[in-house]
Chains A and B, each alone.
Chain A
Amino acid sequence: MSGRIVHIAANTFREAVRDRVLYNLIAFALLMSGAAILVGQISIGIEHLVVINLGLTAVSLFGVVIAIFIGIGLVSKEIDKRTLYTVLSRPVQRWEFIVGKFFGLAGTLVVNTFFMALGVFAALFYVSRHFRAVDGWILVALYFIILQFVIITALALLFSSFSSPLLSAVFAFALFVIGTFSEDLRGFAGLTHGFTRWLATGAAYLVPNFSALNVISSVAHEQPVSGQLIWSNTAYALVYASMALCGAVLIFEHRNLK
């Protein structure tokens, strides 16, 4: 990674922190402590499960919202504030700007996830009074959530490179929802014939597959995640995010900024 990309990434991270993005951690902390204390009183036998399910779901949803709403403004905000021209007037390539923005936001989300993970484990300790070896699978679920953020950040950046913030948010969120149904889409495609099948299968493979990245329920039930899946999901997320990032670079390279 060139020094310029690192600088842009660091500035993006600083800007996100200055925008009080990490304030969501307060809401998260309240949610986790509330759940840890309350659930035992209003339900039966699911204290441990709720802390994992609620904690990981909150980590995922908070992160998705941050990725979309910060990601969609990464390019357009710089254009609106005319700071982009200052950056590009220096020896910075357009692709470096996009890649730097991507790493900056991804880094913000990783830091955010790290603190939330601490909250999840603290709540888990409060409920169970001890940790077990199987709790280690929660780390795998958190890793998959980060992979999910990587894809969404790249997609948000892709939309941000050619569209308005509002439309980018709609596109990114719609793709997130569709991505959770991607396995169903492939199933539906398998039921069609001829050209429709070809088209439907193509569309099903084009949308991101978020369902494979969601192992929250499995780890909550202490079911192990195979090393093969960890490897496949890592490769898939990196390839898919790179694809979206390449699209963003291509569009941004050819965009008329005058």
Chain B
Amino acid sequence: MKPSPRITITASILLFACLAGSVLLLQSIDRQRTGATLEEVLYISSPKLVKRLSLGYDGLLADIYWTRAVQYFGDKLTKGSEHFDLLAPLLDITTTLDPHLLVAYEYGANFLSPKPPYGAGQPERAVQLTEFGIRNNPGLWHLYYDLGFIYYVDAKQYAKAAKAFSDGADQPDAHPAMRIMAAKMAEHAGDLQTARMMWSMTFQTAKDPMVQDNAAAHLRALQVDEDVALLERLASQYRDRTGHLPQSFADLEAANLLRGIPVDPLGHTYKLMPDGRVEVRVPDDMPFIEKGMPPGYTPPLKPHLRPES
């Protein structure tokens, strides 16, 4: 029997109409149940159980959990959330499933360690994660560098940072700066110079453009912090000399305290405020700065790591 063209056409049209209808209805249901599909649940929280259930295909499952961790962190970051409750468990499961997934240690520690809104603000979990990585991947100096970095930048435990850099320097093919870093930590842990050296090394050794952008933004922020402190000190010196605050940077220049109008690392001129404070012109383009922000300034939810784009 030959197929009837009428039935074929009618069935085809109906099929596509029903498909479109089901998509529209599902969108309507999703609107009624906002957030229901994105509920924050980790159905199996035991990393060992997940590994057992993977039936030996743990590599693929680790990739899936890593992708989930990235998506979770990205979603929380863009929403400006201060709570990243599932991040550490997701990273634990990922690295238990595949202890050699280096990317999960390197980026995972960077997700966990910084304070909100730039990270989960859990440096102790970042330390645990990196130490687990070191135990399972011995001989990788970069993981020691990450550990020292967390101790230095977020945990502010300089002695431990020095030890991590020193241990890392003993690993095969370690970056020559690791030994210098260990010495710096021991002597001048809180210096801007030390921080600059750390971020410069991150910038040089990172392969990922995102990590490089982050390091570059931190280097710019350090420069701004240093510039603002210096300019405010000069304004104060001017007041001591003249009895009043300078009206502009031209006054400082005229008093031979400054040569030229100072600009920030992005080329914008600084603003000298009537009360002697110094502010950056575009604070949104200067994430991570600790000085030079207008009073009451709230940074954007997503830091502008690459303002020129």
Query: Quick one: closest A residue to B67, CB to CB?
Result: A43
| Of A53, A211, A221, the contact of B60 (CB 8 Å cutoff) | A53
Q: Is B66 an interface residue (CB 8 A)?
A: yes
Are B59 and A39 in contact (CB-based, < 8 A)? Answer: no
Interface residues of A in 171-200 (CB under 8 A from B): 177, 180-181
Are A50 and B55 in contact (CB-based, < 8 A)? Answer: no
Are A216 and B59 in contact (CB-based, < 8 A)? Answer: yes
Closest chain-A Cβ to B27's Cβ sits at a distance in Å of 21
In the assembled complex, which residues on chain A have CB atoms less than 8 Å from the CB atom of B60?
Answer: 50, 53-54, 57, 216
Q: Is B45 an interface residue (CB 8 A)?
A: no
Are B63 and A53 in contact (CB-based, < 8 A)? Answer: yes
Q: Is B274 an interface residue (CB 8 A)?
A: no
Are A220 and B70 in contact (CB-based, < 8 A)? Answer: no
User: What is the CA–CA distance of A53 and B60 in the complex, to the nearest angstrom?
Assistant: 5
In the assembled complex, which residues on chain A have CB atoms less than 8 Å from the CB atom of B101?
Answer: 46, 49
Are B63 and A50 in contact (CB-based, < 8 A)? Answer: yes
Q: Is B3 an interface residue (CB 8 A)?
A: no
Q: How many residues on A have C-beta within 8 angstroms of the other chain's C-beta atoms?
A: 25
Are A217 and B67 in contact (CB-based, < 8 A)? Answer: no
In the assembled complex, which residues on chain A have CB atoms less than 8 Å from the CB atom of B98?
Answer: 217
User: What is the CA–CA distance of A42 and B58 in the complex, to the nearest angstrom?
Assistant: 20
Most A Cβ at <10 Å: residue of B63, B103, B106? B63
Are A57 and B70 in contact (CB-based, < 8 A)? Answer: no
In the assembled complex, which residues on chain A have CB atoms less than 8 Å from the CB atom of B210?
Answer: 44
Q: Is A210 an interface residue (CB 8 A)?
A: yes
| Of B52, B57, B67, the contact of A216 (CB 8 Å cutoff) | B57
Q: What number of A-B contacts does a CB cutoff of 8 Å give?
A: 63
Instruction: Indicate with 1 or 0, residue by residue over A33-62, a CB within 8 angstroms of chain B CB atoms.
Output: 000000100111110011011100100110
User: What is the CA–CA distance of A49 and B66 in the complex, to the nearest angstrom?
Assistant: 11
Q: Is B56 an interface residue (CB 8 A)?
A: yes
User: What is the CA–CA distance of A39 and B66 in the complex, to the nearest angstrom?
Assistant: 11
User: What is the CA–CA distance of A258 and B101 in the complex, to the nearest angstrom?
Assistant: 58
Closest chain-A Cβ to B61's Cβ sits at a distance in Å of 9
Q: Is A214 an interface residue (CB 8 A)?
A: yes
User: What is the CA–CA distance of A245 and B125 in the complex, to the nearest angstrom?
Assistant: 52
User: What is the CA–CA distance of A30 and B257 in the complex, to the nearest angstrom?
Assistant: 68
When A43-B63, A46-B101, A221-B100 are in contact, do A60 and B70 touch as well, CB less than 8 Å? no
In the assembled complex, which residues on chain B have CB atoms less than 8 Å from the CB atom of A45?
Answer: 103, 106-107, 208
Q: Is B205 an interface residue (CB 8 A)?
A: no
When A60-B57, A217-B98 are in contact, do A44 and B63 touch as well, CB less than 8 Å? no
| Of B59, B66, B103, B106, the contact of A57 (CB 8 Å cutoff) | B59
Interface residues of A in 191-245 (CB under 8 A from B): 210-211, 214, 216-217, 220-221, 223
In the assembled complex, which residues on chain B have CB atoms less than 8 Å from the CB atom of A211?
Answer: 56
| Of B57, B59, B70, the contact of A49 (CB 8 Å cutoff) | B59
Q: Is B71 an interface residue (CB 8 A)?
A: yes
Query: Quick one: closest A residue to B137, CB to CB?
Result: A221
Interface residues of A in 58-79 (CB under 8 A from B): 60-61
Interface residues of B in 94-112 (CB under 8 A from A): 98, 100-101, 103, 106-107
Are B100 and A210 in contact (CB-based, < 8 A)? Answer: no
User: What is the CA–CA distance of A220 and B210 in the complex, to the nearest angstrom?
Assistant: 24
Closest chain-A Cβ to B146's Cβ sits at a distance in Å of 14
User: What is the CA–CA distance of A44 and B56 in the complex, to the nearest angstrom?
Assistant: 23
User: What is the CA–CA distance of A45 and B71 in the complex, to the nearest angstrom?
Assistant: 13
User: What is the CA–CA distance of A52 and B60 in the complex, to the nearest angstrom?
Assistant: 9
In the assembled complex, which residues on chain A have CB atoms less than 8 Å from the CB atom of B59?
Answer: 49, 52-53, 57, 216-217, 220
Are B103 and A217 in contact (CB-based, < 8 A)? Answer: no
Are B103 and A180 in contact (CB-based, < 8 A)? Answer: no
| Of B52, B57, B62, B71, the contact of A42 (CB 8 Å cutoff) | B71
In the assembled complex, which residues on chain B have CB atoms less than 8 Å from the CB atom of A44?
Answer: 66, 70, 103, 107, 208, 210
Closest chain-B Cβ to A39's Cβ sits at a distance in Å of 7
Closest chain-B Cβ to A1's Cβ sits at a distance in Å of 32
User: What is the CA–CA distance of A177 and B55 in the complex, to the nearest angstrom?
Assistant: 7
In the assembled complex, which residues on chain A have CB atoms less than 8 Å from the CB atom of B56?
Answer: 180, 210-211, 214, 216
Q: B residues engaging A (CB < 8 A)?
A: 52, 55-60, 62-63, 66-67, 70-71, 98, 100-101, 103, 106-107, 208, 210
Besides the known contacts A42-B67, A42-B70, 18 further A-B residue pairs in the complex with CB atoms under 8 A apart: A42-B71, A43-B63, A43-B66, A44-B107, A45-B106, A46-B66, A46-B103, A49-B63, A50-B63, A52-B59, A53-B63, A54-B60, A61-B57, A210-B56, A216-B56, A216-B59, A216-B60, A217-B59
